[in-house]
Copies of this chain bind each other. A is one copy, B any other.
Amino acid sequence: MKNIISIPECKDCAIGSNSLFLHLTPEQLAVLNFDKGCDVYKRGNIIYHEGSRVNGVYCVNKGIVKLYKTGLEGREQIIRFAQKGEMIGYRSLLSGEHACHSAKVLEDAVLCYIPGEILFELLRKNSEFAIALLQFTCRELGEANSFITEIAQKTVRERLAEVLFILKSNFGIDNDGVLQISLTREELANMIGTATESVIRLLSEFKDDNLIEINGRKIKLLNQKLLKKTANIYD
């Protein structure tokens, strides 16, 4: 097995203007770097199950992780995807509750593990870090509230069109306009709370209307303006 990877440096994850780790001092970053664990996960691996107790948080260094709740009759509801630089499991750790969702690897991933005590220690010693995490959480809460409104008031058709834009803003599109994440029809359905068949039918309709182009799981956005109208988005 030539699967040995070099353990990523925390400071390499402290990228982007919104990284929480920017608020740590170099010393704290060094300590964190020393105390953390790191592992490789393959597609399909479960990192933790809904309902389990979480004793630390994971940082995504590479790959994509799907966070989902299991609802009625085992149907999964996707809460969000986490990618490079994002933390998962922090909600459960901080609230002291059991995990409110499961985490499953969607694209082969490298995750660092920060034990709970270390995180709490940092939060206690570095109030800027705590406030930054608070801000992050509040932003996520705002997104959740928006999503509630949308899922409650919009039609499936509108939600599907909208989710394409959400995926675009999270994972981007390449030069041809192709979404840089590939999801199964079922996963799309589980994001917007509908049946797989409905997603298939609606995607076909979008294609017929020249809003998108489909190539397997690759979705290309053709007419974003009209697609936004379909999604009932006006910004």
Residues on A lying within 8 angstroms of B by beta carbon are 69, 71-72, 75, 77, 79, 90-92, 94-97, 100-101, 120, 123-125, 127-128, 130-131, 133-135, 137-142, 144-154, 192-193, 232
Contact = CB atoms under 8 A, between A and B. Distances in A.
Contact of A144 (B124, B135, B148): B148
A146 B72 contact: no
A141 B91 CA distance: 8
Contacts of A75: 153
Residues of A contacting B: mostly: helix
B146 A144 contact: no
Q: Which of A124, A125, A130, A149 has the most CB of B within 10 A?
A: A149
A148 B95 contact: no
Given A134-B137, A144-B144, A154 B94 contact: no
* Chain multiplicity (copies): 2
A145 B79 contact: yes
A174 to B, nearest CB: 30
B97 A139 contact: yes
Nearest to A127: B124
Q: Which of A90, A96, A120, A150 has the most CB of B within 10 A?
A: A150
Contact of A152 (B94, B96, B123, B193): B193
8 contacts: A71-B150, A90-B138, A91-B141, A94-B135, A94-B138, A95-B135, A124-B127, A153-B193
Given A120-B131, A134-B134, A152-B193, 10 more contacts: A71-B153, A72-B153, A77-B149, A79-B148, A91-B141, A100-B142, A123-B127, A130-B131, A137-B137, A151-B151
B94 A134 contact: yes
A152 B77 contact: yes
A18 to B, nearest CB: 11
Contacts of A131: 94, 120, 123-124, 130
A72 B127 contact: no
Given A75-B153, A77-B153, A148-B144, A134 B133 contact: yes
Contacts of A147: 148
B69 A138 contact: no
Contact of A100 (B101, B134, B145): B145
